[in-house]
């Protein structure tokens, strides 16, 4: 199937009993079984079926199946948020004394999470940019995961997945990729060697800014060494499904970070138009970035611009597309605020992946808890603006940014 056809048909069938063209919302807490014996089997994974929505639910399972199929994974587990997905993907394999290697150009919430993990004896070694060359000197017998965003948010650096995966697999370490900003429209990381793929499905998969959620997709390709990953020993009998079996029957289930059926339904609806939206959004982002590269008083960063150091990777890995996010440096915090406040169509909000264009000043909001060194490593400065481009008509977007930049420049001149 081609991409847009796959979004509608892969991992999904019309309900055979009712003919429903979407899996209905099973908004219930618990499911009855015909006998105590059958419920016992369902609870102990000896029979298919549903018992309790915290553990599994038909609407959620449908969403998981669709995403796993499109991402070329063997299965997926949905979570209550993108941050829950990041947390669960790591805690499923880590214990006190373990180390993570991560890129420093991460979303502020993820940086905060890695700081929180210190209390549990899990430490993180950060590098400016994840590459085979930068991480190999940091690998030791405590290193249990390499974690990175495929396209940094908002640094916009791109990771060469194939190069990094080949290195970490030599050391029997899994590569965990947060592909939220790339989406499977641009790339399927598993095809390039990623072992676990995460999406904050609140963003582009959902597309409408109406539900919080996350999802973890397992490639099934990583060979878990049970001497190194002792928690996997009990689940070795599940073969390539060991990671998912441990996650669903362990910490994910016990922490209770399940996705609600209603949000799963909204995500499934959004999923079906991802290709159409991303095609428009990527086209808009490139045209807006090209305009901003000629505008007075601002600097623009976007991976699909030839001026970006990551342009060759974007061309090779994403077929020349750069995703939906660009960043602007306005010269000062005051000028950045002035530009944001003068925009008419771009909404000042913290989300990304909406159909609407969203702008935010990252330094004072999503990186408020980060140190200055962490901010700079993440590509966040006092004059930075992150723009999540939407599906508006590009003529309107360019005119809006043009008038806002003119007002910003005039205000600076008058002051």
Per-domain residue ranges for the chain?
3-270, 275-414
Of 225, 216, 210, 219, nearest in space to 241 by CA: 219
What is the per-residue pLDDT for 209? 94
Q: Is the pLDDT at 364 greater than 70, yes or no? A: yes
Query: According to DSSP H, which parts of 238-310 are helical?
Result: 242-249, 251-255, 261-271, 274-292
Concatenating the DSSP letter of every residue in 290-351 gives: HHHTTSTT-EEE-TTSTTSTTHHHHHHHSTT---SEEEEE-SSHHHHHHHHHH-SSSEE-S-
Q: Is the pLDDT at 352 greater than 70, yes or no? A: yes
For the segment 297-323, what is each residue's pLDDT rounded down to a tens digit? 999 999 999 999 999 999 999 999 999
Residue pair 184/203 in contact by the 8 Å Cβ criterion? no
Pick the CATH number of 275-414 from 3.40.50.2020, 3.90.1150.10, 3.40.50.1980, 3.40.50.720: 3.90.1150.10
Q: Is the pLDDT at 360 greater than 90, yes or no? A: yes
Q: Is the pLDDT at 339 greater than 80, yes or no? A: yes
What is the per-residue pLDDT for 298? 98
Mean pLDDT of 10-20: 88
* Run of H or E including 399: helix 394-414
What is the per-residue pLDDT for 415? 62
Q: Is the pLDDT at 414 greater than 80, yes or no? A: no
What is the per-residue pLDDT for 44? 85
Residue pair 233/249 in contact by the 8 Å Cβ criterion? no
**Helix 333-342 and helix 394-414: axis angle, to 10°?**
130
CATH code of domain 3-270: 3.40.640.10
Mean pLDDT of 178-184: 97
Mean pLDDT of 40-66: 93
Weakest mean pLDDT among 9-23, 85-99, 164-178, 245-259 = 9-23
Weakest mean pLDDT among 2-11, 43-52, 206-215, 263-272 = 43-52
Mean pLDDT of 265-273: 98
Position with higher pLDDT, 270 vs 413: 270
* Run of H or E including 168: helix 161-170
What is the per-residue pLDDT for 16? 82
What is the per-residue pLDDT for 76? 98
To the nearest 10°, the Cα dihedral for 148, 154, 155, 160? 40
For the segment 386-395, what is each residue's pLDDT rounded down to a tens digit? 999 999 999 9
| Residue reference for tokens 């200055």 | 372
C-alpha 284/C-alpha 331 separation (Å) is 24
For the segment 110-167, what is each residue's pLDDT rounded down to a tens digit? 999 999 999 999 999 999 999 999 999 999 999 999 999 999 999 999 999 999 999 9
> Average pLDDT over the chain, rounded to whole?
96
What is the per-residue pLDDT for 132? 97
What is the per-residue pLDDT for 14? 86
| Residue reference for tokens 């990729």 | 177
> What are 195's two structure tokens?
């072992």
What are the two backbone dihedrals, phi and then psi, of residue 347, each rounded to the nearest 5 degrees?
Answer: -90, 135
What is the per-residue pLDDT for 177? 98
Mean pLDDT of 312-339: 97
C-alpha 192/C-alpha 163 separation (Å) is 9
Mean pLDDT of 53-77: 97
What is the per-residue pLDDT for 349? 95
């Amino acid at each position: 199937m081609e991409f847009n056809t796959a979004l509608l048909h892969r991992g999904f069938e019309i309900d055979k009993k009712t003919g429903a063209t979407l899996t209905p919302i099973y908004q219930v807490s618990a499911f009855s079984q015909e006998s105590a014996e059958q419920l016992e089997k369902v609870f102990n994974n000896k029979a298919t079926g549903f018992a309790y929505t915290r553990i599994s639910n038909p609407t959620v399972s449908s969403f998981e199946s669709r995403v796993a199929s499109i991402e070329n994974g063997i299965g997926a587990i949905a979570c209550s948020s993108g941050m829950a997905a990041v947390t669960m993907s790591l805690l499923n394999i880590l214990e006190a004394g373990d180390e993570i290697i991560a890129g420093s150009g991460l979303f502020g919430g993820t940086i905060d999470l890695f700081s929180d993990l210190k209390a549990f004896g899990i430490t993180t070694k950060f590098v400016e940019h994840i590459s085979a060359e930068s991480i190999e000197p940091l690998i030791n017998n405590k290193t249990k995961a390499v974690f990175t965003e495929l396209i940094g948010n908002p640094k916009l650096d791109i990771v060469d997945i194939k190069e990094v995966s080949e290195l970490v697999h030599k050391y029997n370490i899994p590569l965990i990729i947060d592909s939220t900003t790339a989406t499977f429209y641009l790339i399927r990381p598993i095809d390039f060697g990623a072992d676990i793929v995460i999406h904050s499905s609140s963003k582009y998969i959902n597309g409408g800014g109406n539900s919080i959620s996350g999802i973890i997709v397992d490639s099934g390709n990583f060979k878990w060494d049970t001497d190194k990953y002792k928690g996997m020993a009990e689940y070795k009998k599940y073969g390539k499904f060991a990671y998912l079996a441990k996650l669903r029957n362990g910490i994910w289930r016990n922490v209770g970070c399940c996705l609600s059926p209603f949000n799963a339904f909204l995500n499934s609806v959004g999923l079906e138009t991802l290709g159409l939206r991303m095609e428009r959004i990527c086209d808009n982002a490139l045209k807006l970035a090209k305009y901003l590269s000629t505008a007075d008083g601002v600097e623009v960063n976007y991976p699909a611009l030839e001026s970006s150091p990551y342009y060759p990777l974007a061309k090779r890995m994403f077929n020349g597309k750069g995703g939906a996010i660009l960043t602007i440096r306005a010269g000062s915090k005051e000028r950045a605020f002035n530009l944001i406040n003068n925009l008419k169509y771009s909404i000042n909000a913290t989300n990304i992946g909406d159909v609407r264009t969203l702008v935010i000043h990252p330094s004072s909001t999503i990186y408020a808890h980060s140190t200055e060194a962490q901010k700079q490593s993440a590509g966040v400065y006092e004059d930075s603006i992150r723009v999540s481009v939407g599906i508006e008509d590009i003529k309107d977007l360019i005119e809006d940014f043009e008038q806002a930049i003119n007002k910003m420049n005039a205000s600076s001149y008058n002051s």
